[in-house]
Amino acid sequence: MDRYDVLIVGAGPGGLAAARGAQAAGANSILLLERDRVTGGILNQCIHDGFGLVRYGARLTGPEYALRALQEAEESGIELLTGYHVIHIEAGAGSELAHTVTAIGPEGLRQIEAGAIVLATGCRERTRGAISIPGSRPAGVFTAGVVQNLVNVRNVMPGKNVVILGSGDVGMIMARRLTLEGAAVKAVVEVLPEPAGLSRNVSQCLYDFDIPIYCSHTISRIIGKKKLEAVEVSQLGEDGRPIKGTEWEIACDALILSVGLIPENEVAETAGVALDRKTNGVLTDPFLQTNVPGIFSCGNARRIMDLADFVSEQGELAGRNAVTYLRQEEMKAWDEARTSSMAKGFPPEGTVTCTMCPKGCQVKYDEQTGQFTGNGCERGAEFARQERTAPRRFLTTTVRVAEASHGQADETASREQAGDNLIPAGASRGPGLLPVRSREPIPRQALENAAFALRDVTVEPPVACGDIIAWVPDGEGGQAAIIATAELGK
């Protein structure tokens, strides 16, 4: 049986950083197991920008962030095994004994021993089934993450007229994304009195596109026998139940649920790791160690986090602590304040939410004095000045990949047969789409035309991340460069 010092389950931002952390702490052997064919986890479908402000001091899209994280992990010389799904962990007893991990992959069942394990298994979405929305069960009800995957990776459009329940970040981001792809987002409905997600997403995903948000409202009924026809929206009373007589119907062919994330810990449970029964998150000590000695947890599997950057930081620490645990040296505690620091809910009236860094300062402009207040630094004032006069945004979207290159799956298969499992993030994303963004932010009002212009663009592989793919009208009489945010193999 193969044996490693540290074995990491899941190669999303947490797992990739854990590998780097374990390497930096001097582990002799590290194995990173990923069930998907590519690394990066959910980042691959998060083609929008807003990642990397903390960790890299740059505004990156999800795929770009995933690529950097992979490069860092690769530089540290770890072993990576993709396409392997961990089904069971047998916890060893006592600190000398190793844990045994069983995983299933295309070459069969593998059993691997590890001195310490970092669980970076991420989260799943809360579903319609879990929140019991009354009404029929027609086709056309999806969770936001599923829609994000369909639209950004699989080239599948869920519908033309969309209602979104829940103002979590993924839901708001998909409101903007679907608008840019030509759908009409009729409403975002939120049961809480304030939006649940980050203020910057309320500004840049809803306000930018005049998408109405109804807070203290819910979807009280789903209508449509075979296919979704409409949803009934009701105002909520103080008791949290719909108020009779306040309901109205919105015709739609897709309902998207963004109603929360749940830590995904089926693998942890097989090892006897204790979970918080309320949140389903892993219970850890301040050093991110679970009740099972030598098993650590990080990222969304432990507690849902707002920023991938913090997930990476935590993963890195979990990887380090796994090594210090093996050496029976002192571990470092996680600073819980790092988990969430960004402004959420409605941006206060008359302010702009600065997106220059994750703090999300609410900057106010005083008409009389011409002074900006609320900004933590000079960049905030600059951002707010521009927001008042000529707001700019990154355009993040996709372009089609030429039909001829649809044989990628075969290529992936042959690489796997050759025992080469190191497939870069994005290399075998479905044959359809390549994520792209504008190289620089462009005027807000130019976003829709620019996205539209890209609908006819097709790229031929190979493409490197950062390659210029196309030029689009920038709304100021010039052209804006559109660059690839992922790699596309031959």
Partner 1 sequence: MDRRNIIIVGAGAIGCAVARELSRYELNITVLEKECDVAGGISGRNSAVVHAGFNNRPGSLMAKLCVEGNQGFEGLCKELDVPYRKTGKVLVAFDERDLQTLRATIEQGERNGCRGLRLIGRQELNDFLPGIGGIGGMVSPETAITDPFLYCIALAENALENGAQFRFNACVTDIRKQEGAFVVRTESGEEFRAEHVINCAGMNSDRIAEMAGVSGYRLYPCRGEYFILDRGLDQQIPMPVYPAPRAGIGGLGVHLTPTTAGNVIIGPSAEYIPQTDDLSCTREVMDQLLAEAKALWPAFDRKEIIGNYAGIRPKLAPPEEGGYRDFVIREEPDQPGLIDLIGIESPGLTASMPIARMVREIIGQRTELKEKAGFTVEHRRPVRFRDLSEEEQAKLIEQDPEYGEIICRCQKVTKREIRNAIENPFGAKSISAIKYRAWATTGRCNGGYCLTRIVDMLINEYHVKPEEITYRSSGSELFSGEVK
Binding site for partner 1 (CB under 8 A): 35, 83, 85, 87, 102, 104-109, 124-125, 127-130, 132, 134-140, 143, 145-146, 149-151, 153-160, 181, 220-221, 225-227, 242, 253-254, 266, 398-400, 406, 409, 430-433, 455
Q: Using an 8 Å Cβ cutoff, are 314 and 307 in contact? A: no
195 upstream amide cis, omega within 30 of 0: no
Measured from the CB atom, the residue of 104 and 342 that comes closer to partner 1 is 104
Task: For residues 302 and 141, give the distance between their C-alpha atoms in angstroms, rounded to a whole number.
Answer: 28
Task: For residues 11 and 69, give the distance between their C-alpha atoms in angstroms, rounded to a whole number.
Answer: 10
Task: For residues 488 and 459, give the distance between their C-alpha atoms in angstroms, rounded to a whole number.
Answer: 10
Instruction: Name the pairing type of β-strands 230-235 and 217-223.
Output: antiparallel
The one-letter code for the residue type at 72 is: E
Measured from the CB atom, the residue of 24 and 130 that comes closer to partner 1 is 130
Measured from the CB atom, the residue of 269 and 476 that comes closer to partner 1 is 269
Measured from the CB atom, the residue of 103 and 343 that comes closer to partner 1 is 103
DSSP for 191-236, written as a single string: SSSS-SSBHHHIIIIIGGGT--EEETEEEEEEE-SSB--EEEEEEB
Written as six digits, the tokens of 182 are 């030509």
Shortest Å, Cβ 411 to partner 1: 14
Shortest Å, Cβ 333 to partner 1: 30
Measured from the CB atom, the residue of 191 and 323 that comes closer to partner 1 is 191
Closest CA to 246 of 238, 237, 259: 237
Closest CA to 326 of 14, 6, 3: 6
Measured from the CB atom, the residue of 247 and 467 that comes closer to partner 1 is 247
Shortest Å, Cβ 114 to partner 1: 19
Measured from the CB atom, the residue of 73 and 180 that comes closer to partner 1 is 180
With a CB cutoff of 8 Å and minimum separation 6, the contacts of 428 are 37, 38, 408, 409, 411, 412, 489
User: Which one-letter DSSP state was computed for residue 420?
Assistant: -
Shortest Å, Cβ 142 to partner 1: 8
Shortest Å, Cβ 47 to partner 1: 12
Shortest Å, Cβ 259 to partner 1: 12
Task: For residues 234 and 228, give the distance between their C-alpha atoms in angstroms, rounded to a whole number.
Answer: 18
- Give kind and range of the element (H or E) at residue 5: strand 2-9
DSSP for 238-291, written as a single string: TTSSBPTT--EEEE-SEEEE---EEE--HHHHHTT--B-TTT-PBP--TTSB-S
Measured from the CB atom, the residue of 194 and 448 that comes closer to partner 1 is 448
Shortest Å, Cβ 221 to partner 1: 8
Measured from the CB atom, the residue of 201 and 428 that comes closer to partner 1 is 428
For residue 11, what are the CA distances in angstroms to 197, 209, 333, 451?
25, 34, 23, 31
Shortest Å, Cβ 414 to partner 1: 13
At 200, phi and psi to the nearest 5?
-60, -30
DSSP for 17-69, written as a single string: HHHHHHHHTT-S-EEEEESSSSSSGGGGG--SEEESTTTTSS-EEHHHHHHHH
Measured from the CB atom, the residue of 91 and 151 that comes closer to partner 1 is 151
Shortest Å, Cβ 425 to partner 1: 17
Shortest Å, Cβ 361 to partner 1: 35
Measured from the CB atom, the residue of 358 and 426 that comes closer to partner 1 is 426
Shortest Å, Cβ 127 to partner 1: 4
